[in-house]
């Protein structure tokens, strides 16, 4: 788009991400556009925003050293581009992080807790000279928080990486954060490592195994929570050469990426699945099949249980947005009886 006083140069090339775009202008300016969330003009250090800038374009002034990061999925992307030092304020407490660098930064005091998304510590945020708040779409449940931060002169960026349909689309958001920090070259290299992993799976002789997979967890009421078809997890299973068993859930009317169903409904769809993968990003990991059967005796009759093909993915998965290519590789190794030692996220659940 035309910006008074600036000359358009080129746009960022994106391979998978569809929820954002970046346009570059002369003298190091960059315009970030996030679908449904607005536009942000990144202004280089020592320069000013051009006069006549449209009011709905938010200005982000470099350098950025005191970011308030509330969107947990973004932390690993900052880690991947060596940008954690730019994050001073966290919306997650130390015990809520599964990313070691984030835990270490909080333990050392380089990063401090500044309140969760709906209850930020405004005084602390202002005292630290926060230059940008990065929120998840959860902030829309508390619009007064976003308004107050903006009233204090703090730009608010709402990220939408979780809305990307392709798993590597989420990972490609590291390129957006790289624009903020001037680390595009680092992001390109880190992102290529993940696309190379996917390419290796897609070009393998057994890229289509035909094996079926159910990805789920049991909630506190005893119901089963599964991902909708077309979600990034189900897409990862498909890219790994598997077949996600819940093919008809993309028509379910809900804005959530997950669906809750009764155990009987789950049994009807997944009893004959070749693999069961327990999602412990929300629930606690299961260590044995006996723990799974304790949640519901019907699991004894599942094909995957009887054949010893029950796996578990741990709490790190949701925060590990920078190595999605590795998780696809893990699924592929699972489906092709690969070595568990080569896996990062998946753990085989013992028979007893």
Q: pLDDT digits over 201-216, tens only? A: 888 888 899 999 999 9
pLDDT of residue 190: 94
Q: In the chain, at which residue ranges do the beta strands (DSSP E only) sit?
A: 8-11, 20-25, 30-34, 38-43, 57-61, 67-69, 87-90, 112-113, 132-135, 156-158, 212-218, 224-227, 243-244, 258-261, 275-279, 310-313, 346-348
Convert the pLDDT of each residue in 63-89 to its tens digit.
Answer: 998 999 999 989 999 999 999 999 999
**Following DSSP, what letter does each residue of 294-345 receive, concatenated?**
HH-GGGGG-HHHHTT-EEEE-THHHH-GGGHHHHHHHHHHHHTT--GGG-SS
More confident residue, 181 or 227: 181
> Given phi > 0 = left and psi -120 to 50 = alpha, else beta, which region is 336?
alpha
Residue with tokens 């999602």: 279
DSSP β-ladder status, 156-158 and 212-218: unpaired
Q: How far is CA 49 from CA 24, 141, 146, in A?
A: 14, 31, 22
pLDDT of residue 344: 86
Distance CA 135, CA 122 (A): 15
Residue 24 pairs in a beta bridge with: 10, 30
- The predicted model scores a pTM of 0.84
Give the phi and the psi of residue 221 in degrees, each rounded to 5: -95, 0
User: Tokens in use for 279?
Assistant: 């999602």
pLDDT of residue 264: 94
Note the residue count of the chain: 352
- Over residues 236-261, the mean pLDDT reads 78
Burial class (CB within 10 angstroms; exposed 0-12, middle 13-18, buried 19+) of 146 = middle
Convert the pLDDT of each residue in 318-334 to its tens digit.
Answer: 677 767 788 899 999 99
- SS3 of 120, please? coil
Residue 51 has pLDDT above 70, yes or no: yes
- Over residues 55-61, the mean pLDDT reads 95
> Given phi > 0 = left and psi -120 to 50 = alpha, else beta, which region is 293?
alpha
Convert the pLDDT of each residue in 128-161 to its tens digit.
Answer: 999 999 999 999 999 999 999 999 999 999 999 9
């Amino acid at each position: 788009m035309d910006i008074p006083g600036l000359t358009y140069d080129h746009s960022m090339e994106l391979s998978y991400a569809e929820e954002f775009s970046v346009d570059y202008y002369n003298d190091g300016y960059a315009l970030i556009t996030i679908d449904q969330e607005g536009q942000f003009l990144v202004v280089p250090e020592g320069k000013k925003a051009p006069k006549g800038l449209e009011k709905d374009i938010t200005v982000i002034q470099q350098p950025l050293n005191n970011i308030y990061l509330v969107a947990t999925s973004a932390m690993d992307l900052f880690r991947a581009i060596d940008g954690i030092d730019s994050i001073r304020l966290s919306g997650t407490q130390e015990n809520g992080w599964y990313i070691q660098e984030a835990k270490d930064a909080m333990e050392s005091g380089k990063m401090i807790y500044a309140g969760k998304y709906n209850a930020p510590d405004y005084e602390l945020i202002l005292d630290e000279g926060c230059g940008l708040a990065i929120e998840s779409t959860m902030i829309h449940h508390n619009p007064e928080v976003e308004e107050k931060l903006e009233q204090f002169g703090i730009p608010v960026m709402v990220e939408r990486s979780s809305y990307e349909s392709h798993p590597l689309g989420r990972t490609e958001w590291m390129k957006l954060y790289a624009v903020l920090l001037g680390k595009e070259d680092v992001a390109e290299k880190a992102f290529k490592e993940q696309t190379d992993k996917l390419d290796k799976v897609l070009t393998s002789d057994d890229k289509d195994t035909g094996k079926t997979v159910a990805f789920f967890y049991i909630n506190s009421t005893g119901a089963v929570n599964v991902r909708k078809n077309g979600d990034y997890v189900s897409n990862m299973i498909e890219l790994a050469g598997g077949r996600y068993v819940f093919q008809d859930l993309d028509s379910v009317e809900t804005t959530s990426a997950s669906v809750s169903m009764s155990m009987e409904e789950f049994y009807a769809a997944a009893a004959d699945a070749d693999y069961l993968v327990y999602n412990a990003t929300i629930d606690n990991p299961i260590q044995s099949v006996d723990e799974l059967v304790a949640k519901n005796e019907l699991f004894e009759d599942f094909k995957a249980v009887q054949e010893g093909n029950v796996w578990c993915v741990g709490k790190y998965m949701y925060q590990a947005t920078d190595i999605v290519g590795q998780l696809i590789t893990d699924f592929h190794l699972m489906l092709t009886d690969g070595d568990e030692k080569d896996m990062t996220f998946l753990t085989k659940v013992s028979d007893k």
